């Protein structure tokens, strides 16, 4: 979790957090629970293309670290959460039990996992929806040209793209979508920071070749100290590779690219605007 989120959370300090190393968020918490990372716990994960994978535990977590699930289950047990019938609220005790409960939860919904099993996933990954009718999953969604826009099936009705305002069920019904897709247009909006006399260059951030995408622990500072290279970049633009945080470093925060960009995010997707800022470049003296 990034440093900027940490500051956003600062007003309502998190009571506890579970991490597999001491992040900037964890440093603000009252209670930190050491957690297992992948390879130290069993569970499924799902890619952006709906592919469900089973990731089995290969080694024990170090020290007192436990899986997130074990931490949550222990918490539920200690809080003595009960259902309406007076039985324990959580009826499962391991990852596969939790997966079975999720399957029941997802049945009949767009991300239907109901016919998936750990045994099936040991053969190969599967794309949801995976149902009795499609036991090997579904490669292509909306193949019949029918989308999940029917107000009787949808649970949310979309957003205004400029503000993120939620649209209402009545508005969705008025469009009579009947399974048709919507294409929403929005006018171009300039980013919150535009170059001016004081900050004449436009900064963008990104990944370089061979740039692994973890080590994302960043914060925010008004300036960044790094060697500058003059290359064939577009005029007026500065590029900084992102993801240089402080995992190995406790001094002043002067090197993470995301410290230079505005604290802002897209109102619908909540993607942070790490890609654009107005900057100036000066020789470090």
Partner 1 sequence: MQLAHYLGLLHRAQVELGAAFREVGEAHADEADVLHLSRKLAAECDRHADQLQPFAERYGEDAPSEPERLHSELFKGTREGGLGLLRDLHDLYLMATECDVAWTLVGQAAQGARDTELLEVVQSCEGETATQLKWIRTRMKEAAPQALVVADRRQR
Which residues lie near partner 1 (CB under 8 A)?
7-8, 10-12, 160, 162-167, 189, 192, 262-265, 267
29-55 burial, b for 16+ CB within 10 Å, e for fewer? beebbbbbeeebbbbbeeeeebebebe
- Is the Cβ of residue 71 or residue 262 nearer to partner 1 in the bound state? 262
- Is the Cβ of residue 12 or residue 232 nearer to partner 1 in the bound state? 12
CA torsion, points 199, 201, 206, 208, in degrees to nearest 10?
-130
């999940």: which residue's tokens? Answer: 148
Work out how close the CB of 202 gets to partner 1 at its nearest, in angstroms, rounded to a whole number: 18
Work out how close the CB of 25 gets to partner 1 at its nearest, in angstroms, rounded to a whole number: 16
Q: Kind and range of the H or E element at 42?
A: none
Q: 272: number of CA atoms within 13 Å, CB side?
A: 18
- Is the Cβ of residue 34 or residue 191 nearer to partner 1 in the bound state? 191
Q: Determine the Cα–Cα distance for residues 195 and 247; give it in Å rounded to an integer.
A: 32
- Is the Cβ of residue 14 or residue 34 nearer to partner 1 in the bound state? 14
Across the beta sheet with 126-127, the strand order is 43-46, 51-55, 126-127
- Is the Cβ of residue 75 or residue 157 nearer to partner 1 in the bound state? 157
Burial class (CB in 10 A: 0-12, 13-18, 19+), 260: buried
Work out how close the CB of 151 gets to partner 1 at its nearest, in angstroms, rounded to a whole number: 17
Work out how close the CB of 246 gets to partner 1 at its nearest, in angstroms, rounded to a whole number: 22
Work out how close the CB of 1 gets to partner 1 at its nearest, in angstroms, rounded to a whole number: 15
């Amino acid at each position: 979790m990034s440093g900027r989120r940490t500051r956003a959370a600062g007003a309502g300090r998190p009571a506890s957090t579970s991490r597999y190393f001491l992040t900037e968020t964890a440093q603000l918490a009252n209670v930190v629970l050491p957690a297992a990372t992948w390879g130290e716990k069993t569970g499924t994960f799902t890619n952006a293309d709906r592919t469900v994978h089973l990731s089995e535990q290969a080694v024990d977590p170090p020290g007192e670290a436990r899986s997130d699930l074990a931490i949550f289950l222990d918490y539920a047990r200690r809080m003595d959460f009960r259902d309406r019938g007076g039985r324990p609220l959580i009826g499962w005790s391991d990852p596969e039990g939790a997966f079975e409960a999720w399957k029941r939860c997802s049945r009949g919904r767009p991300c239907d996992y109901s016919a998936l099993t750990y045994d099936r996933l040991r053969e190969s990954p599967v794309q949801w929806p995976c149902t009795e009718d499609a036991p090997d999953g579904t490669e292509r969604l909306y193949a019949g040209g029918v989308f999940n826009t029917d107000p009787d099936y949808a649970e949310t009705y979309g957003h205004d793209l400029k503000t993120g305002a939620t649209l209402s069920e009545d508005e969705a019904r008025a469009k009579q979508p009947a399974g048709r897709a919507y294409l929403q247009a929005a006018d171009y909006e300039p980013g919150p920071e535009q170059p001016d006399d004081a900050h004449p260059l436009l900064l963008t951030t990104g990944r370089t070749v061979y740039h692994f995408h973890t080590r994302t622990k960043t914060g925010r500072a008004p300036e960044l100290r790094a060697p500058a290279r003059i290359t064939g970049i577009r005029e007026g633009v500065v590029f900084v590779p992102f993801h240089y945080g402080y995992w190995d470093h406790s001094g002043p925060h002067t090197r993470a690219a995301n410290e230079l960009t505005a604290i802002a995010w897209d109102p619908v997707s909540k993607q942070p605007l790490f890609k654009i800022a107005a900057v100036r470049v000066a020789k470090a003296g």
